[in-house]
Structure 1
Amino acid sequence: MFRRRPLPSFPPGALLVGGAARDWLRGTASKDFDWAVPEPAAAARQLAQDRGGTAFPLDEERGYWRVLAPEGVQHDLVPQPADVTADLLRRDFTVNALALTEQGQILDPAGGRRDLRARRLRMVSADNLRADPLRAWRAARFEVTLGFRLEPASEAAVRLVATDLATGLLPLPAPERVRDEVHALLGHPEAARGVRRLDTLGLLALTVPELREGQGLIQGGFHHLDVFDHNLEALHQLLARCPEAGLPLRWAALLHDVGKPRARASDPASGRLTFHGHDRLGAELTQTILTRLRLPSHDVRRAAALVGAHMVRLPAGEREARRFVHRRRELLPDLLSLMLADREAARGPMSSPASRRAYALGMERILAALETQPAAPPPLLSGEEIMALLGCGPGPRVGAALRALAEAAALGEVRGPDDARAFVTSLAIDAPQ
């Protein structure tokens, strides 16, 4: 069923265990190798020397080492257990309870090869899942990334873990560990399907409960889906068009309308449902959600900024397009990808070929302006020069003048130092006395 690849080069006396053994049996390439070796420290240093990588301890007390090799390859080395079979039977799923010897002998105490052939995800035991509840998230991730399906008893056990986590009978995993599982899922082309699976297993409520607030909230207008499904469809549309999208952009697509349920209101005159300010509220919620999941602060800021800007109007002309690029340059081109994914996920009764053409034209104007001016023009005057022209010291007025001058230069209204001085002088004359 699977075409096996050549075995990797083994450290002396090593066993290849877990996911890398599973991937070898499936005939797929792996960049993450888990080794059980007699002496992890010595094996790690030798492996790093042989393959040009860097070796360092993960946990010196337990003898866990890692080697980062070229091209993103990672090797984790742990002490070889006295009872390999017992160690494998403590793992999460049968397809991971596998080991290989250098001679190609397969150790399979839980029947993982049979499940591999059936593309079945089966727990080794319910107790193993409960021993580390993060394995519930891993089940959803493996369904998507491996293309397998949880068998009924394992799905029931995962659902029970989710229930017991929600009620406090089991401790929640560390946010960083949940984040890493979610990121592994979001990195897959079928990430939207994976998020939906987290929901059906009861895990999304433990991860991003704010996202579920959109379930059943019908929008109408340009939208044919409720808020929850629209967010998932936007992520799907993004990845269909931008498979290389980074994690902040993927999060922004998934969360772009997360503020709508809390911004929901009825227009007093028409009774029509409105969501005014959902972009601002969504940016705040995105910041809260991703901070809770311990994402790096720069990723949090970028995802929140994208969500906050996703409703900005597209330009109707060339000058507006240049202003759009100037004011949002730091978010481009990701912002355009997000806006297009949002638009393509909305196919409600107000959507039409004409509205789609108008949207595409606005996008084309922005891309043309970005191509014409790929970088912001250099400053024409320094802060000291502006203070001299305005006759003032440092303060908000100088900052406002610098921003106005930069935008005028980006729009082509100011083309040199003389123009810049005249522009700033006009600001001084127009300022209220």
Structure 2
Amino acid sequence: MADITQQLNTFLVGGAVRDSLLNRAVVDNDYVVVGSSVEAMCQLGFIQVGKDFPVFLHPKSKQEYALARTEKKSGQGYTGFNCNASPNVTLEEDLLRRDLTINAMAMDENGKIVDPYNGQIDLKNRVLRHVSMAFIEDPLRVLRVARFAARYHEYGFTIAPETLALMTQLSESSELLSLSGERVWQEMQRSLADANPEVFFQVLYQCQALKSLWPDLHNLWGIPNPAKWHPEICSGLHTMMVLKQAVLLSTKTTIRFASVCHDLGKSLTEDKTLPSHPGHETAGLPLIEELCARLRVPTAYKTLALKVCQFHLHSHKVFELKASTILKLYNQLDAWRKPEDFYDFLLCCQADFTGRLGFEKREYPQKDFLYHAFEKLVLITAKPFVEQGLKGLEIKAAIAEQRLAVLKQFKLEYIQQNKIV
């Protein structure tokens, strides 16, 4: 039986065309259908899923097919549009409403590229350029372009100056405030999974979007740090360097998010104490709580971000701490119950230490010490003390006492063997 799509005038569109021309793996195939209607699609067996505009799933492949459409701004935000999906809408009209020229190309069933807005030229020149002035009607496009800039940074893409100007215009209006927290987080989370997520935040800072979407992060730019420990000086630049180091250390987006959050408290430092930041660790905690509530950030992200924010200096200064303070740190990090989260914490601290100008290749023995000490301490369990007849709080106290003794000895030996000064 012939495929039902043969009865339709269909074109592969958007990202699949763009990525195939870049020789990049294509994740999703999206199709536009020209000259059809909702009724005709349903009669062929397509399953309608779009509420705001007609999008359908193929009954077998489950791939998306959307009717060619035009949109007209009717309200505020990225959902304030009236959609026209009549059979008279042309492919060129459909492509005109898209965000970037490199996303406004189509391919017919014979592999011929339809490119009315010079997307191939911009693809060749590595330029992210808006298709039309309709760009400023959708505030979500500011985030999308920032995400594309991050995703395609490795290919050498830059944002066209006129497009960046429109992004700035959108950012300085109230339109960004119409975006839901979940939608902002979705774009941010997707960027955190890419190879250069720092570009996403840098672009948002450059076009003034970060000031609306995450003001505490925006405010870090220009805030100085002590030159001895931060040759890059600027707290915003440091945060981006930490994120780059986190990318090198882990693919986990929880770790990358926590790395961005770790110094938010510095945005509240009083001028008279600069470039020092006393108490910035605890000052950052409510800022993380507020952000996570506003963007509906999942608990796993928030939990790690709070731990890293509050205790990263403990890790850096671990060789100066008393064994009892280090043992307390393990307890505060809930390391005994959640060892994987503890390891993630250590990676974040390493990213913080190496995310500084000239520090990128420096050793971070603190992570090694805390990791191997934990391996020894976690072996001390309740079983032998239960066998001795101890009960309740006596067992807890005995475990703590033995762990403290082992930790003191291990710390002494580690410092001597590794010549820690």
What interval of TM-score do these two structures reach, taking the shorter chain for normalisation? Answer: 0.7 to 0.9
Please state how far the C-alpha of 1:228 moved relative to its aligned partner: 1.6
Please state how far the C-alpha of 1:373 moved relative to its aligned partner: 5.8
Q: In structure 2, which of residues 84, 98, 104 is the aligned counterpart of residue 91 of structure 1? A: 98
> Are the counterparts in 1 of residues 262 and 305 from structure 2 also a CA contact under 8 Å?
no
1:189 aligns with 2:185: no
The separation in 2 between residues aligned to 1:222 and 1:61, in whole angstroms, is 53
Closer, same or farther in 2 for the Cα pair 1:94/1:265, shift >3 Å? closer
Q: 1:308-365 CA distances to partner (integer Å, 9 max, x unpaired)?
A: 22121454499677765555323321111111111112459xx8x9xx66xx333222
1:78 aligns with 2:80: no
> Where does 1:33-112 land on structure 2 (aligned, <5 Å)?
33-37=29-33, 39=41, 58-59=49-50, 62-65=53-56, 75-80=63-68, 82=87, 83-112=90-119
The separation in 1 between residues aligned to 2:270 and 2:186, in whole angstroms, is 32
The separation in 2 between residues aligned to 1:307 and 1:15, in whole angstroms, is 49
Partner of 2:350: 340
> Where does 1:392-431 land on structure 2 (aligned, <5 Å)?
404=397, 407-408=400-401
Partner of 1:131: 137
The separation in 2 between residues aligned to 1:88 and 1:240, in whole angstroms, is 37
Q: In structure 2, which of residues 19, 25, 45 is the aligned counterpart of residue 23 of structure 1? A: 19
Please state how far the C-alpha of 1:380 moved relative to its aligned partner: 7.5
1:223 aligns with 2:225: no
1:236 aligns with 2:244: yes
The total of aligned residue pairs comes to 361
Q: In structure 2, which of residues 293, 316, 328 is the aligned counterpart of residue 291 of structure 1? A: 293
The separation in 1 between residues aligned to 2:288 and 2:395, in whole angstroms, is 31
- Higher mean Cα deviation, 280-289 or 294-303? 294-303
Q: 1:130-160 CA distances to partner (integer Å, 9 max, x unpaired)?
A: 2211112222221221232222222222221
The separation in 2 between residues aligned to 1:66 and 1:376, in whole angstroms, is 56
Please state how far the C-alpha of 1:177 moved relative to its aligned partner: 1.8
The separation in 2 between residues aligned to 1:365 and 1:262, in whole angstroms, is 32
Q: 1:79-108 CA distances to partner (integer Å, 9 max, x unpaired)?
A: 355322211111111111111222212222
Q: In structure 1, which of residues 135, 154, 158 is the aligned counterpart of residue 163 of structure 2? A: 154
> Are the counterparts in 2 of residues 230 and 345 from structure 1 also a CA contact under 8 Å?
yes
> Where does 1:220-369 land on structure 2 (aligned, <5 Å)?
220=226, 221-224=228-231, 225-242=233-250, 244=251, 246-264=252-270, 266=272, 273-313=275-315, 314-316=317-319, 324-325=329-330, 327-328=332-333, 329=335, 330=338, 331-346=341-356, 360-369=364-373
Closer, same or farther in 2 for the Cα pair 1:177/1:376, shift >3 Å? farther
Question: What value does the CA root-mean-square deviation take over the aligned residues?
Answer: 3.8
Please state how far the C-alpha of 1:405 moved relative to its aligned partner: 5.5
> Are the counterparts in 1 of residues 307 and 345 from structure 2 also a CA contact under 8 Å?
no
Task: Report the AA paired with residue 191 of structure 1.
Answer: P
The separation in 2 between residues aligned to 1:347 and 1:132, in whole angstroms, is 38
Q: In structure 1, which of residues 100, 111, 115 is the aligned counterpart of residue 122 of structure 2? A: 115
Task: Report the AA paired with residue 151 of structure 2.
Answer: T
Partner of 2:205: 199
Q: Secondary structure at the match of 1:332?
A: helix
Instruction: Work out the percentage of aligned pairs sharing the same amino acid.
Output: 24
Which structure 1 residue ranges, 4+ long, deviate > 6 Å from structure 2? 40-45, 317-323, 378-382
Q: What's the TM-score, normalizing by structure 2?
A: 0.73
Task: Report the AA paired with residue 21 of structure 1.
Answer: V
Please state how far the C-alpha of 1:370 moved relative to its aligned partner: 3.9
